[in-house]
């Protein structure tokens, strides 16, 4: 179990949230080449280190937000506060 620091609901069991995976800026669908778009869809950095990732608090505030977690130790750092711009969907 992971204790996930939701910016709105406080620490929650990870089972209460949906894991959204790595957070990457989405290329503009109007101008991106198929190769760029598929790279965005499929390729991952998958570091064993700090990672910016998205979460959805499905049984709490029902909002998407981004967090930084160390994938080797599962620590979270510097969680956003409510209203923080980082709290929006990446």
Q: From the CB of 83, what's the least distance to another protein, in Å?
A: 26
Specify whether the CB–CB gap between 16 and 7 falls below 8 A: no
**Beta carbon nearer to another protein, 47 or 88:** 47
Report residue 55 CA to chain centroid gap. Answer: 5
Would you say 41 or 81 has its CB closer to another protein? 41
Would you tell me how many other CB atoms lie within 10 Å of the CB of residue 22?
Answer: 16
Please give the residue ranges that form the binding site for another protein (CB under 8 A): 1-2, 14-15, 18-19, 21-22, 34-35, 38-39, 41-48, 53, 71-74
Residue 10 burial (CB < 10 Å; 0-12/13-18/19+)? exposed
| Residue 85, Ramachandran bin (φ over 0: left; ψ between -120 and 50: alpha; else beta) | alpha
By beta-carbon proximity to another protein, the closer residue of 34 and 83 is 34
Q: Shortest gap between Cβ of 23 and another protein (angstroms)?
A: 12
Provide, rounded to whole angstroms, the least separation between the CB of residue 20 and another protein.
10
């Amino acid at each position: 179990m992971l204790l996930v620091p939701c910016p709105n609901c406080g620490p929650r069991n990870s089972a209460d949230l949906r894991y959204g995976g790595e957070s990457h800026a989405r290329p503009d669908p109007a101008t991106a080449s198929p190769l760029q778009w598929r790279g965005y869809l499929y390729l991952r950095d998958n570091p064993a280190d700090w990672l910016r990732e998205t979460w959805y608090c499905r049984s709490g505030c029902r909002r998407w937000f981004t967090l930084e977690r160390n994938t080797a130790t599962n620590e979270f750092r510097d969680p956003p506060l409510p209203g923080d711009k980082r709290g929006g969907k990446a």
